[in-house]
Structure 1
Amino acid sequence: MNEQDFPSSEDEHTQDSANELIKISGMYQDWFLDYASYVIMERAVPALEDGFKPVQRRILHSMKDLDDGRYNKVANIVGHTMQYHPHGDASIADAIVQIGQKDLLIDTQGNWGNILTGDRAAASRYIEARLSKFALDVVFNPKTTQWQISYDGRKDEPVNLPVKFPMVLAQGAEGIAVGLSTRILPHNFLELIDASIKHLKGKRFTIYPDFPTAGIMDVSEYNDGLRGGKIRLRAKIEVLDKKTLVINEIPHGTNTSSLIDSILKANDKGKIKIKKIEDNTSSQVEILIHLPANISPDKTIDALYAFTNCEVSISPLSCVIYEDKPQFLGVSELLRKSTEHTVHLLKRELEIKLDELEEQWHFASLERIFIENRIYRDIEDQETWEAVIQAIDDGLKPFIKHLKRAVTREDIIRLTEIKIKRISKFDLDKAQQKIDALEGEIEKVKHHLANLIEYAIAHFERLKKTYGEGKERKTEIQPFENIEATKVVIRNHKLYVNRKEGFIGTSLKKEEYVTDCSDIDDIICFTENGTMMVTKVDSKTFIGKNILYVGIFKKKDKRTIYNLIYRDGKNGSSFMKRFAVTSITRNRAYSVGKDKPGTKVYYFSANPNGEAETVSVHLRQSKSIRKVKFDIDFADLAIKGRSTKGNLVTKFAIKKVELKEEGVSTLKPRKIWFDDTVKRLNVDERGELLGAFRGEDRILIITQSGIVKTIRPELTTHFEKDIIVMEKWIPKKPISAVYFDGEKERFYVKRFFVENEEREENIISDHKDSYLELISTDYIPQIEIEYTKLRGKDRKTNEVVNLKEFITVKGIKAMGNQLSAEKIKQIDVIEPIAFELEEDKAASDIEVLDEEEVNYKESDKQSQASLFDDLDED
């Protein structure tokens, strides 16, 4: 750049005086608003009437122009569409592919890409397309289409296509305009038809999205597709075996490539732990995730939902062009207005058809009068055209009183155009039959107009019957449980502590190892001077000198109980307390006492199940002290809040406190519920109460396929859908089963105990025709058998069988006893014989106990454990 490019200081004043101040507010207001309006109306937002953006509408109009029943090259369709669409060919080709992948309006041929894997479609010169039968049926009708001039003035294009279906909801739409955006999610074809029919019948309806990638969806916050709503989508993950997970369905908006990338990134960051991953996806999704040894499949599933794209959240925003302006309407309102627009189009089609039929009837009647009464002979002597017209008009007058409208000059001219050959072969009977048929059609159309709603309902029912096959819902709707990331994250770091200097962290590898942790964990620490602090995991954090305890902090944890004895101040008395820490401000120092200088902790323990130990307190020698050693049982102390001062131990100086005896839990058994909606256990009183569980208690699970197993009641467990028995397991309570043996072709009965609590067993035979008929965990179950026919005259058609008397308790692998040699029609479980053991009463008493403050003695625990010793194994 040369020096003359920069004005000198002497020239600046001259330049400023020459320049004029130009206000751009007017231009900004006009030009920017024009641009914004163009983007909103002509590019990004679909119209409610037909559900299309302009490019989609022009593509379908072009395909209709080209339609001859055969496939056309997409490149040819793109070129033809450019007559109407003033933008590049790439955007048109992309729009065609998007329409084609939705498999509704376009029949495709060739490689159109894969929405499951994210593979792109082949180039437009290699793939072909044509309009689907559904599109030809419901999208086009030039008689009801409003037309406008195309951008270059050479062609006519539709303002909106006359779509007789809620297309905007069937296809969905996404677009970013100026100042607003739209995101309408696709909905199920059959459900939209059903909802339209319900609306026409005046009934209420609810519609939810449905996606071609299937998956699982939580719609509890959908908000009818309006701003502020959201849906949560999850991949369908199943346990193939203890070391393998399989993903068969993925969330909308993802593909197998992006999903696998998110899983690998989570693995690299240590959020999850996997051995390897395989993608076997073709026409169906199949992603195999191989797990290392000792990694829980259930926890890994939750971790995949928490840290990868196996769970995504989508926020809909339902915006459409309606009445020539963008409007935010819920999906229910969109369906109502779209259905009413369909009714309007159907009415308009009927009105046009009625006009056409009446016009045909009018001319057919004129033609018959003209030929039957030989009025054509009256024109033979006429010398001028006007005389011919007048002669025909005069000849018709005696016969046209029954016509529905006056005879026009155009009618007479059409009569003159009838060929002599047609007149000579005119058949009066056929002509009358044609008129009668037209009258029947006219009455039919008038009936439809008079019963327009019924006609519209029939229209939707026809669409469902004709095109509904294979369009069932793919995305499963169910509420999701919230997954706490801290409970499912893989603890891939090691936490160390320098107790004397007061540091904790993951980088102190030369110091004392504490526990494995993750980078999202919180750590709780107690120091000798009575300071408590919760902080995030970091490489190195100062807590305070002389650290007594370091552990992972669990928010809202009421079962971890801290027992301590401390001196309140330098010369203060000593106190003891038991408390839980459920919530706290991170990085804030709290005192276990009253925050007096010189506070000292003599004894501290952290108990994950509320254990209460016995300790020995040693006092310093003094003339006024008679007893320098005594024992304290923490079980005698109630659990109170963290800020409580505690109970007085002694006013004298303590030399040391020693552990004398380990304690047992003083907490009540934990009540656990099963929520069948989300198929998960919980402690929030949702669903069916399974019972109150101590640490050693287990849950009995029996599935329809005959699998029997017991599991620990972990809240992260995922359950199969075919579970028929889920209850608290009583080890000495027999299980009774009736099953059909496919090889023997007979019903068998067996009674058994679960012999190995760590192993699952199949209680029916392996034959492909074997199946479990019924199962009972009652002590004395009874069944009623209905026979098809009996040989003996004295035998009854129905028989009641006491299973306890029928067969003794045998091994779980035993085949059992044949139920009957006769052919059985039906088997039903009936009311069992009343029988209640003392342990059942005791168990029911346990379940109604109060909160954590209830204390149990060791003797109570032992007596409860022995309740089942006297059970008769028969």
Structure 2
Amino acid sequence: MEDDHLHNEDENIQENAGNETITRVSGMFKDWFLDYASYVILERAVPAIEDGFKPVQRRIMQSMKDLDDGRYNKVANIVGHTMQYHPHGDASIADAMVQIGQKDILIDTQGNWGNILTGDSAAASRYIEARLSKFAIDVVFNPKITEWQASYDGRRKEPVNLPVMFPLLLAQGGEGIAVGLSTKILPHNFIELIDASIKHLNGKKFTIYPDFPTAGIIDITDYKDGLRGGKVRVRAKISQMDKSTLVINEIPFSTNTSSLIDSILKANDKGKIKIKKIEDNTSSSVEILVHLPSGISPDKTIDALYAFTNCEVSISPLGCVIEDNKPLFVGVTEMLRRSTDNTVQLLKQNLELKLDEYEEQWHFASLERIFIENRIYRDIEEEETWDGVITAIDKGLQPHIKHLKRAITTEDIERLTEIRIKRISKFDIDKAQQKIDALEDQIAQVKHDLAHLVDYAIAYFTRLKNDYGKGRERLTEIRLFDDVDATKVIIRNTKLYVNREEGFVGTSLKRDEYVCDCSDIDDIIVFTRDGKMMITKVDAKTFVGKDIINVEVFNKKDKRTIYNMIYRDGAKGPSYVKRFSVTGVTRDKEYDLTNGSKGSTVLYFSSNPNGEAEVITIFLRQVGSIKKLKWDLDFTEILIKGRNSKGNQVTKYAIKKIELKEKGISTLKPRKIWFDDTVQRLNVDGRGELIGEFRGEDRLLIINQSGIVKTILPELTSRFDSDMIILEKWVPKKPISAIYFEGEKERFYVKRFLIDQEGKEELFISEHPKSHLEIISTDWKPIAEVELTKERGKERKDNLEVNLEEFISVKGITALGNQLTKEKVNQISLLEPLPYEAPEEVPAEEIEVVDEDDISEDTPSKTIKTDEEEDSDDDGNGQGKLF
């Protein structure tokens, strides 16, 4: 019958075309999905903007208030009580309560509530206990200004919204998936939210950014106020414990140590990174030790962890809340404004209620004093009826009530009749007046607060910060991230092979020639004998062209790798020389590096990672009347041009062979390197402070506040400790001057030293726990000023000015040094160093350098001719030497 009713309610079947039946949904079916979607959005998944709670969270909080007696309650008991407001499942209520408890704002927990760091779940609800925190009692509840509604079965009253006087939604964050929409509001810092609310009340602009309980590092460049389309990047905090061990002390939000370690192990299995083992020592704080095999760079591994594991995650916020029973997409700035304005209105309602209460207390206290002081209670002795009693009291009060603020009601008179005789007999007029005066002061204060509501709200927020802000400082460090180039940090754990004759390259050609180590995300560049070039992705086996002469891993936008090439144009044409770089190209497209003539052949080719230019010897075939069959060609005299350039003519005669005479040196300008303090990384893009110009073996000098010094090659993947105080280009012959406090001897010492071992990390102060570095200088002639401590009863001694170069000679890095002074030192500071002309570093060989930015695709060629060509040229324009 039910089926018949549903089918007969409307003409549901519209048409039948072939095997498809089109059914028009109507009747009760029409609204079912919309009703379900509305219920999930409004009653389950999305928090309200007024108090920041989802319905189940609001019912949990109200239940805890109902049960609150200052003692802990079993969570199972609270869950059962919550079900009186709505029959959510007990498991879902317990899970929601655990999530609130783990945020450590509203609930004071006891027992095993799980661990957000490790991902461990909470104990069963019958084993753990909870009570409202002092903060929750202070800011969440006020029954007198709460709007109530009937519960699902009408037996109880539940709050429509709790009168939360704090931006709780932003402090806790919120996440939910509804039907057709979702929300993801990230948690923000407790103290910063209060400061932002105060700024808003003062009419000032403010910005707020996420702060996570798991700490970590966050890049908020694209936060976009928490609106849809924004994102934040969150990283674990990774540091280097020693040369072979990394330690992770903070993890990204939305991860835990288990998922983080799993992602590291998966990256290791896939060959993205290379690790030896992982130890998880996490308890109340995170400590994950990542042990590295020997020979693996810790700096590159840190970048690889960010590139290939959950050590860096991207989180996309989506600010969606419920307002007036409708979804509202809004940014966190507007959320805070609305929350703060709502708090002001709640404070106003609370003050108005207090004013009414104080005025009522003042009114009755005044009536009571009149009633007792003028002995009006005696006027009712003759009355026999209740109406007569009321009338007699009213008549007796009339001469004394002109100063009252409202008329006397029957209820007022009935309250007077309820005063006990004992109270009348012990009535103290002075105490009664003091009570009235105190009430008048309270009324005046409340009226003042209402008249200065913004100041009152600011004072309220300030009190919250003072009472509850301790220990809630920002955990997540805000920092700009540098983009990690995955191709530069991935472990090359795959071997690349080549079959030169057949023209195949790949990782599966294990019987052929080994080329180099590579990774599965690398590109490779291939050059063939006929002057063709191709760039392709690493694969198991790829055909690129027969007679391969050079194959290597390709680095995109690499202007420092220069290719030197000599080719014959056509089958019997002249030979040309060219130098070029390869930057941006289309993958798997074949490029011709010759002049395009059929039969062209590459006679000589070299790949130079730092723009090296070698000297070669060219031998010609004995043909006709050629006088000179052998001469040298120096690639330093060849300009670097684009890959499409024709090149410079070497000879029009046939070349017999070419031999390498002398290895090349770099012809590129020294590379300028900058240090960007915001991301704590080196770069060649001009960001930050210029450190200097670096050639091949030049190194960086790094000195930390902990007294550690080292030199490193200036690799762009290098990472730097937070206590770094010196970062500059290392001049090996320039002494380092230091003043440090020697903990065992409790005296200041001076030392000057040179670094003997490149790349070695060395401690140049003593290992005593009280030893610390006071002054460090890399000037040639540093001057220090020493301020001595004034002793009681003695004259203050003049400051000492110490020329460190004269004070002590250069000694070994491990030397103790000379004692600075026997007097007690108050302060040591560096003065301007003495002038000194540092010795110039003269390069071993003067060469013409080429700026990488000058390398272009259309640089005009210059012809190079030999003596033989000069003799044979009819026009007499030949040159007798190379240019």
Q: CA deviation digits over 1:34-76, x for unaligned, max 9?
A: 2222211111111111111011000000111111111111111
1:128 aligns with 2:114: no
Q: Give, in whole Å, the separation in 2 of the partners of 1:13 and 1:341.
A: 53
Q: Give, in whole Å, the separation in 1 of the partners of 2:842 and 2:821.
A: 36
Q: Give, in whole Å, the separation in 2 of the partners of 1:286 and 1:847.
A: 53
Secondary structure of the structure 1 residue equivalent to 2:641: coil
Question: 1:214 is matched with which residue?
Answer: 215
Question: 2:873 is matched with which residue?
Answer: none
The amino acid of 2:329's aligned partner reads: F
Q: Give, in whole Å, the separation in 2 of the partners of 1:14 and 1:824.
A: 99
Secondary structure of the structure 1 residue equivalent to 2:334: helix
Q: Give, in whole Å, the separation in 2 of the partners of 1:838 and 1:624.
A: 55
Question: 1:477 is matched with which residue?
Answer: 478
Question: 1:250 is matched with which residue?
Answer: 251
| Equivalent residues in 2 for 1:619-638, closer than 5 Å | 619-623=620-624, 625-638=626-639
The 1:771/1:31 distance shift into structure 2, 3 A limit, reads same
Question: 2:862 is matched with which residue?
Answer: none
Q: Give, in whole Å, the separation in 2 of the partners of 1:448 and 1:846.
A: 81
Q: Give, in whole Å, the separation in 2 of the partners of 1:850 and 1:569.
A: 32
Question: 1:492 is matched with which residue?
Answer: 493
Q: Give, in whole Å, the separation in 2 of the partners of 1:126 and 1:506.
A: 57
CA contact (8 A) 2:738 2:775 kept: yes
| Equivalent residues in 2 for 1:418-457, closer than 5 Å | 418-457=419-458
**Displacement of 1:220 after TM fit?**
1.1
The amino acid of 1:577's aligned partner reads: K
Question: 2:771 is matched with which residue?
Answer: 770
Question: 1:173 is matched with which residue?
Answer: 174
The amino acid of 1:83's aligned partner reads: Q
Q: Give, in whole Å, the separation in 1 of the partners of 2:686 and 2:14.
A: 82
Q: How many residues align?
A: 840
The amino acid of 2:580's aligned partner reads: F
1:225 aligns with 2:204: no
Q: Give, in whole Å, the separation in 2 of the partners of 1:28 and 1:48.
A: 32
Range that drifts further, 823-832 or 500-509: 823-832
CA contact (8 A) 2:790 2:796 kept: no
The amino acid of 2:273's aligned partner reads: I
The amino acid of 1:252's aligned partner reads: F
The 1:762/1:847 distance shift into structure 2, 3 A limit, reads farther
**Displacement of 1:105 after TM fit?**
0.4
Q: Give, in whole Å, the separation in 2 of the partners of 1:550 and 1:170.
A: 56
Q: Give, in whole Å, the separation in 2 of the partners of 1:363 and 1:96.
A: 45
Q: CA deviation digits over 1:708-766, x for unaligned, max 9?
A: 21111111111111111111111111111111222222221111111222322222122
Question: 1:823 is matched with which residue?
Answer: 824
Question: 2:464 is matched with which residue?
Answer: 463
Q: CA deviation digits over 1:798-850, x for unaligned, max 9?
A: 2222122222222222222222222222222111111112417999x999994
Question: 1:269 is matched with which residue?
Answer: 270
Secondary structure of the structure 2 residue equivalent to 1:810: coil
Q: CA deviation digits over 1:172-202, x for unaligned, max 9?
A: 0001112211100001111111111111122
Q: Give, in whole Å, the separation in 1 of the partners of 2:843 and 2:601.
A: 44
Unpaired stretches in structure 1, ≥5 consecutive residues: 1-11, 855-874
Question: 2:59 is matched with which residue?
Answer: 58
| Equivalent residues in 2 for 1:567-716, closer than 5 Å | 567-623=568-624, 625-716=626-717
**Displacement of 1:489 after TM fit?**
0.5
The amino acid of 1:735's aligned partner reads: I
Question: 2:523 is matched with which residue?
Answer: 522
CA contact (8 A) 1:691 1:847 kept: no
Q: CA deviation digits over 1:481-525, x for unaligned, max 9?
A: 110111010111111100000001111110000001111111110
CA contact (8 A) 2:668 2:849 kept: no
Q: Give, in whole Å, the separation in 1 of the partners of 2:784 and 2:63.
A: 70
The amino acid of 1:150's aligned partner reads: S
Q: CA deviation digits over 1:136-195, x for unaligned, max 9?
A: 010000001011111111111001000010001000000111221110000111111111
Secondary structure of the structure 1 residue equivalent to 2:210: coil
Tell me the C-alpha RMSD between the 2 structures: 2.5
1:416 aligns with 2:430: no
Q: Give, in whole Å, the separation in 2 of the partners of 1:848 and 1:163.
A: 70
Question: 1:162 is matched with which residue?
Answer: 163
The amino acid of 1:208's aligned partner reads: Y
Q: Give, in whole Å, the separation in 2 of the partners of 1:148 and 1:202.
A: 36
CA contact (8 A) 1:526 1:550 kept: yes
Q: Give, in whole Å, the separation in 2 of the partners of 1:609 and 1:28.
A: 73
Q: CA deviation digits over 1:545-582, x for unaligned, max 9?
A: 00000100001111111111112333433211111111
Question: 1:6 is matched with which residue?
Answer: none
Q: CA deviation digits over 1:344-382, x for unaligned, max 9?
A: 111110000000000110111111111211222222222
Question: 2:541 is matched with which residue?
Answer: 540
The 1:848/1:422 distance shift into structure 2, 3 A limit, reads farther
| Equivalent residues in 2 for 1:709-788, closer than 5 Å | 709-788=710-789
Secondary structure of the structure 2 residue equivalent to 1:284: coil
CA contact (8 A) 1:789 1:797 kept: no
| Equivalent residues in 2 for 1:339-354, closer than 5 Å | 339-354=340-355
CA contact (8 A) 1:170 1:192 kept: yes
**Displacement of 1:310 after TM fit?**
0.6
**Displacement of 1:792 after TM fit?**
14
Q: Give, in whole Å, the separation in 1 of the partners of 2:775 and 2:842.
A: 27
The 1:567/1:513 distance shift into structure 2, 3 A limit, reads same
**Displacement of 1:416 after TM fit?**
2.0
CA contact (8 A) 2:100 2:106 kept: yes
Q: CA deviation digits over 1:629-654, x for unaligned, max 9?
A: 33221111111111112112222333
Q: Give, in whole Å, the separation in 2 of the partners of 1:454 and 1:407.
A: 36
Q: Give, in whole Å, the separation in 2 of the partners of 1:318 and 1:691.
A: 46
**Displacement of 1:624 after TM fit?**
5.4
Question: 1:858 is matched with which residue?
Answer: none
Secondary structure of the structure 2 residue equivalent to 1:809: coil
Question: 1:81 is matched with which residue?
Answer: 82
| Equivalent residues in 2 for 1:328-347, closer than 5 Å | 328-347=329-348
Q: TM-score, normalised by structure 1?
A: 0.93
CA contact (8 A) 2:14 2:22 kept: no
1:290 aligns with 2:291: yes
CA contact (8 A) 1:667 1:853 kept: no
The 1:605/1:852 distance shift into structure 2, 3 A limit, reads farther
**Displacement of 1:538 after TM fit?**
0.7
The 1:602/1:613 distance shift into structure 2, 3 A limit, reads same
Question: 1:403 is matched with which residue?
Answer: 404
The 1:616/1:74 distance shift into structure 2, 3 A limit, reads same
Q: Give, in whole Å, the separation in 1 of the partners of 2:575 and 2:55.
A: 81
Q: Give, in whole Å, the separation in 2 of the partners of 1:758 and 1:22.
A: 77
CA contact (8 A) 2:522 2:537 kept: yes
The 1:101/1:847 distance shift into structure 2, 3 A limit, reads farther
**Displacement of 1:27 after TM fit?**
5.4
Range that drifts further, 617-626 or 451-460: 617-626
CA contact (8 A) 1:63 1:130 kept: yes
Q: Give, in whole Å, the separation in 1 of the partners of 2:849 and 2:550.
A: 35
CA contact (8 A) 1:752 1:809 kept: yes
The amino acid of 1:815's aligned partner reads: L
Q: Give, in whole Å, the separation in 1 of the partners of 2:482 and 2:319.
A: 27
Q: Give, in whole Å, the separation in 1 of the partners of 2:848 and 2:321.
A: 56
Q: Give, in whole Å, the separation in 2 of the partners of 1:674 and 1:271.
A: 27
Secondary structure of the structure 1 residue equivalent to 2:115: coil
Secondary structure of the structure 1 residue equivalent to 2:525: strand
Unpaired stretches in structure 2, ≥5 consecutive residues: 1-12, 856-883
Question: 2:867 is matched with which residue?
Answer: none
Q: CA deviation digits over 1:310-335, x for unaligned, max 9?
A: 11000101111123321111111111
Q: Give, in whole Å, the separation in 2 of the partners of 1:813 and 1:21.
A: 89
Range that drifts further, 336-345 or 740-749: 740-749
Q: Give, in whole Å, the separation in 2 of the partners of 1:624 and 1:148.
A: 113
**Displacement of 1:453 after TM fit?**
1.2
Q: Give, in whole Å, the separation in 1 of the partners of 2:35 and 2:847.
A: 74
**Displacement of 1:596 after TM fit?**
3.4
